[in-house]
Structure 1
Amino acid sequence: MTSEEGARNRTARAGGWFSTHGLVLRVVAFLTIALMPIGLIAIYQTAEFQREALRRSELSLLALTGQAAAPVEQTIERALGVAEALGAVIDQIDDTGACSSFLDRYNEGRRLYALIGLVSPDGIMRCSSMGRSFDMRGGGIWEQMSRRPAAIVTQGRREAVADEPLINVATPILEDGEFLGYVQIAIPQRRIAAPAAIVDTDQAPLQLATFNELGEVLTEQNPDRPLGTLLPQGFDLADKAGLRATATVGTAPDGTALVYAVTPLVTGAVYAVGVWPPIEGFGPTVLPSLFPVLMWGASLLVAYYAIHRLVIRHVRRLGRNMRRFGADRQLPPRAATADMSRELREIEGEFVQMAGNILQDEARLEDQLRERGILLKEVHHRVKNNLQLISSIMSMQMRRTRDQSTRDILSRLQDRVLGLATIHRTLYESQDVGRVDAARLMREIVGQQTSGAGGGVDLRFDLEELELLPDQAVPLSLLTSEALANALANMKPAQGETGWIAVGLRRDGDGMAAVEIANAAAGAETEADAAAPAGARSGGLGMNLIQAFSAQLGGPCEISHRDGTYRLSTRFPIRETQYDPQDY
């Protein structure tokens, strides 16, 4: 695996299961689509339920407000009924004194009202239960009387009538469509019964008040908290008159959220307003609206838990086991698979079986490679022994031969044989029989061939660590051996200097290697040598072999003789496989 692939894998694992390609995100997306119709239905039903609950709360609150204001309603309704009944009687009494006496006797028998009187169309009350007349044109009730004949309920206070707050109730007297005046009744507020007790609730209104169609407050239940201090800004009682019963949520001047319930008591005349603290279930609530979202979230959590429990954690463990096996060839531990699905158990079983087969095959290959390595080392060892045996036979033959030229020839052959023996010894001593340490090989060949020269040669090494295949190591060692023999034979140091030989091996460019062997060679090169092409300036056997070995390496051989140095070099490609495809 390349570093780029490893980085991509690490990035994918770091992204987790919530990445765009993760299983969880895709399941969540599909589950969201599947739950969308149910969610829309739930949202619609929740909205309908919330509206119905709000309507029920509103009706309940209006009923409680009407229940609390029932005594005021009953008192005013009774007064309107009395006024209407008296209007049918007193319009027949022409005598003012008799009319006043009749009203006085009626009021004295009940003692409910402060005043009962008959107001003529010109605004003068000539007949009253107090036996005197009153000019009504200076009061606010006359403004309502003068508009149109209708039932009137308003607040008033006349010191001549009573030294306390009054509620004036008036009904028109009509006969054959002709307006004859009003019957007016003044009700002391103390005569109005206390508000009715609120049943089936633990809450009481902060204020319960009544008002007429003009928005004029008639009564207030709680004098400690006037209605004006509780109404929100812009809440006009006159605008609420004439409408159906309503309940709204508003903010009082002190910033408190309150509920305002307005319900009619006497149609077109009297209304009740109740100021309530916030009541549970009234007004918009967030929780019911969140129910579909919570349901969707709970479904996703359950789905994620199920997928994680049944699939993801097992897939993760299987992935870790695969990565561990790929890294160190370690079989996964035997895990409890009771809660795994059958499909995942089959996948894990197939992986364990495949991993076991791979380990068996690798063990078999390692055994074969080990046996092959042992066999190759044994072959190289025996070849080395045979070559050394041949070298020993050559040594015996040289001791028996008196001809110096023959002995020189045998010595050169012996050096070549020992060079081959060195290669085979290096191969069977190395850990990898398929690779040869070229630097060590060249150092041993140089040491072997210069051992007979004593201390008269200065060896200079510039060897870089380089491993070669045996197919290249053999011609390299033979080339080095021939070049060294040539250098020792032609070494001519300058006067008073020690002879030297330099051996170099280095990497040269991308996939290339360079070998260089130089020696001291005092004197200028001849004109014939200078005119000859490189590699062809010597026609001896040694140079022919050097050229052949250089060709086997895959590079040309170059020779130069300048500045007192004889230099032989070649540059060849480093093979990575045992066999070159160009050979086939």
Structure 2
Amino acid sequence: MTQSIGERDRAARAGGWFSAHGLVLRVVAFLTIALMPIGLIAIYQTAEFQRETLRRSELSLLALTAQAGAPVEQTIERAFGVAEALGVVIDELDDPASCSAYLNRYIEGRKLYAMIGLVDPDGIMRCSSRADSLDMRGTRIWEQMDIAPNAIVTLSQRPEIAEEPVINVASPIVEDGALVGYVQLAIPQRRIASPVTTLQAERQPMQLVTYNELGEILTIQNPDRPLETLLPEGFDLASKTGLRATATAARSPSGERLVYAVTPLVTGAVFALGVWPASEGFASPLLPSLFPVLMWAASLLVAYYAIHRLVIRHVSRLGRSMRRFGANRQLPPRGSASDMSRELREIEGEFVQMAGNILQDEARLEDQLRERGILLKEVHHRVKNNLQLISSIMSMQMRRTRDATTREILSRLQDRVLGLATIHRTLYESEDVGRVNAARLLREIVAQQSGGAGTRADLAVKLDLEDLELLPDQAVPLSLLTSEALANALANAAPDAEGAVWISVALRREENGMACLEIANSAAARDAASAGPRGQGLGMNLIQAFAAQLGGPSETRHEAGVYRLTTRFAVREMQYDPQDY
């Protein structure tokens, strides 16, 4: 039968409307997209109550399961903590006997573990709380450690470890990425397998089981009720070892509808399964579940692409580059992320430019500081040489002078010049020209003045100098004060009551940032009328002036055959002045 012209036109129009570029299909598609949220909202409204009931029931059962398994969790976590702590110190006990005694004392103090030992990579437990070494090769822990060195919890019963079932907790010891052994603790199963007492009687689970990542049962609440009679077909404990807590409803082999709540107790190692009777609202129809699944899939896709790929990934990389630059001044490579957005690429470029400027400024400052240090050392060296030249000229003049008084004056002046030379020599020989070791400086001054030609042979020198870092503007008056006081002490030292002649120099740090310089010498006993200060000549005037520069007064005492000069001053800290750079 032939087709009429009108029928062919209608067929053509219909084909055009419903083609890929047809108007009808486009309108339907846009309307479908526009109405889809409304339809989803309708589905959500009809299933809201049922979903809320399901969610609350699931969370409640998971919380109760975790609460019921809390004693096991606490015991295992405590054992892991002990294993990690022992892993740090146990290898320090090289002697097996000492190691065994140490672990025995630890077990007796805790009353929780049946055995503790350190297993070498070859599978031999040479260090343990038991006297004999044990061969752990072939055990599940050793096999698992050989595959991947992770924390392991297993159940075993070996007479050489304990006469009852024990839960073995093993923690690996890894050094430089290599397994050097593991610490194994054996906990009697009866200590943590007691019935659940943390829940009310009406909220007890039908069965509570704890197991490891391999699906091996560690503890069971009701041994009289086999777990096989409660688990549905295809329920495998080894597959229920995820990081998230889950609750599912299914029928047991007897047809009873039950809820199986699985929650991790120790991450990646121990899990708890609680079997509960299904409540009336614990159901999950397919239709109400479509909305959250769709929303989750769409949100996950959009969030991953728009947030992670476009923003977070590049911001995290830029943050790592900034941290590397702050730690070791390492600049990020240019053009490392071609798919970075223009705004983030501009930020990275500004950071690279700023970091480059910082490196240039730091290099310039380092050069200036190095040049400044070299210049200061050279200045101190030249000043020291000039002062030594002046001292040599004084020595030549003293040899030509016949007047003893003039020679004594020149000798005192020469000691002062040599004291200054010692300061400058210490400054240019020190690594840090901005700090001076006062103890070293005073030792050189004492050695220089006490070793002179006019020093008595029976003189004893006592030094009690504490290392003290001073700024040069304090080290200079301190050394000059010491030189003057030491010259007075050498000139006035006399035999004490026991006939000994001595001088002593002490420098010590006191509280509140103070320091004390004390110079004493033996002296003959004096009466009360003559117990005042030892004159007020040039030396004492200089001592008072140098003490004032230090920032502390100078006190003198003459008692019990000892003449003592004491100066206390505050130790100044170096202050940073940006104008110096």
Note if contact 2:43-2:288 (Cα within 8 Å) is conserved in structure 1: no
Give how far 1:314 is off: 2.2
Take 2:551 and 2:394, find their aligned partners in 1: how far apart are those partners? 32
Partner of 2:43: 45
Alignment partner of 1:340: what SS?
coil
Q: Which residue of 1 aligns with 2:298?
A: 299
For the residues of structure 2 that align with 1:329 and 1:523, how far apart are their CA atoms?
A: 68
Counterpart selection for 1:519 from 515, 518, 521? 521
1:287 lines up with 2:286 in the alignment: yes
Distance 1:344 1:525 in 2: 88
SS of alignment partner, residue 451 of structure 2: helix
Q: How does 1:160-175 map to 2 (within 5 A)?
A: none
AA paired with 1:293? Answer: P
- 8 Å contact from structure 2 (residues 497, 561) kept in 1: no
Which amino acid in structure 2 is aligned with residue 560 of structure 1? Answer: R
SS at match of 1:519: strand
The 8 Å contact of residues 47 and 288 in structure 2, kept in 1 or not, is answered as no
Aligned to 2:396: 396
Matches within 5 A, 1:434-453: 434-452=434-452, 453=455
How far does residue 554 in structure 1 lie from its aligned partner after superposition?
A: 0.3
Q: Tell me the equivalent position of 2:506.
A: 504
Q: Percent identical across equivalent pairs?
A: 68
Q: Tell me, in whole angstroms, the C-alpha distance in 1 between the residues paired with 2:545 and 2:256.
A: 109
Q: What letter matches 2:541 in structure 1?
A: N
Unaligned runs of 5+ residues in structure 1 are 1-36, 51-250, 258-283, 531-535
**How big is the shift at 1:578?**
6.2
Residues 71-220 of structure 1 mapped to structure 2, 5 A cutoff: none
Residue deviations 1:358-412 (CA, integer Å, cap 9, x gap): 1111111111111111111111111101100100000000000011111010000
Number of aligned residue pairs: 313
Q: Provide closer, same or farther for how the CA distance between residues 320 and 402 of structure 1 changes in structure 2, counting only shifts above 3 A.
A: same
Partner letter of residue 471 of structure 2?
L
Maintained 8 Å contact 1:468/1:575 = yes
Question: Could you list the per-position Cα deviations for residues 182-237 of structure 1 after superposition, in whole angstroms to 9, with x for gaps in the alignment?
Answer: xxxxxxxxxxxxxxxxxxxxxxxxxxxxxxxxxxxxxxxxxxxxxxxxxxxxxxxx
Alignment match, 2:374: 374
- Give the 3-state SS of the residue equivalent to 1:338 in structure 2: coil
Q: CA contact under 8 A between 1:39 and 1:292: conserved in structure 2?
A: no
- Deviation of the 1:527 alpha carbon: 2.0
Distance 1:441 1:289, change over 3 A: same
Superposition deviation, residue 310 in structure 1: 2.1
- Verify the 8 A CA contact 2:461 2:502 in the aligned structure 1: yes
Q: State the secondary structure of the residue aligned to 1:545.
A: helix
In 2, distance between residues paired with 1:428 and 1:38?
A: 84
Q: Against the structure 1 CA distance between its residues 350 and 38, is the aligned structure 2 distance closer, same or farther, given a 3 Å change threshold?
A: farther
The more displaced of 401-410 and 300-309 is 300-309
User: 1:343 corresponds to which residue?
Assistant: 343
User: Which of 484, 488, 491 is 1:489 aligned to?
Assistant: 491
Aligned to 1:416: 416
- Tell me if the contact between 2:43 and 2:291 (Cα under 8 Å) persists in the aligned partners: no
Rounded to whole Å, the distance in 2 between the matches of 1:38 and 1:520 is 106
Which residue is equivalent to 1:469? 471
Aligned twin of 1:362: 362
3-state SS in 1 of match to 2:539: helix
Cα displacement string for residues 270-304 of structure 1 (whole angstroms, at most 9, x for unaligned residues): xxxxxxxxxxxxxx852321222223322332244
Match of residue 557, structure 2, among 553, 556, 560 = 560
Distance (whole Å) between structure 1 residues aligned to residue 47 and residue 495 of structure 2: 114
Alpha-carbon contact 1:505-1:515 (below 8 Å) kept: yes
Q: Distance in 2 between matches of 1:467 and 1:46?
A: 76
Q: 1:572 to 1:47 in 2, by over 3 A?
A: closer
In the alignment, the residues of structure 1 paired with residue 39 and residue 515 of structure 2 have an alpha-carbon distance, to the nearest angstrom, of: 79
| Corresponding residue for residue 242 of structure 1 | none
When residues 304 and 565 of structure 1 are mapped into structure 2, their CA distance, relative to the original with a 3 A threshold, is: farther
Which runs of structure 2 are paired with 1:263-274 in the superposition (5 Å)?
none
Q: How far off its partner does 1:353 sit?
A: 1.2
The aligned counterpart of 1:540 is 537
Q: 1:343 to 1:526 in 2, by over 3 A?
A: same
Give the equivalent residue in structure 2 for 1:237: none
Task: Using structure 2 for the length normalisation, give the TM-score.
Answer: 0.50
2: CA distance, partners of 1:474 / 1:569:
17
- Could you tell me which runs of 5 or more consecutive residues in structure 2 were left unpaired when the two chains were aligned: 1-34, 49-250, 258-282
Matched with 1:164 is none
Moved more, 37-46 or 472-481: 37-46
C-alpha change, 1:455 and 1:318, in structure 2 (3 Å) is farther
Distance in 1, matches of 2:479 and 2:315, equals 56
Q: When the two structures are superposed, what TM-score results if normalisation uses the length of structure 1?
A: 0.50
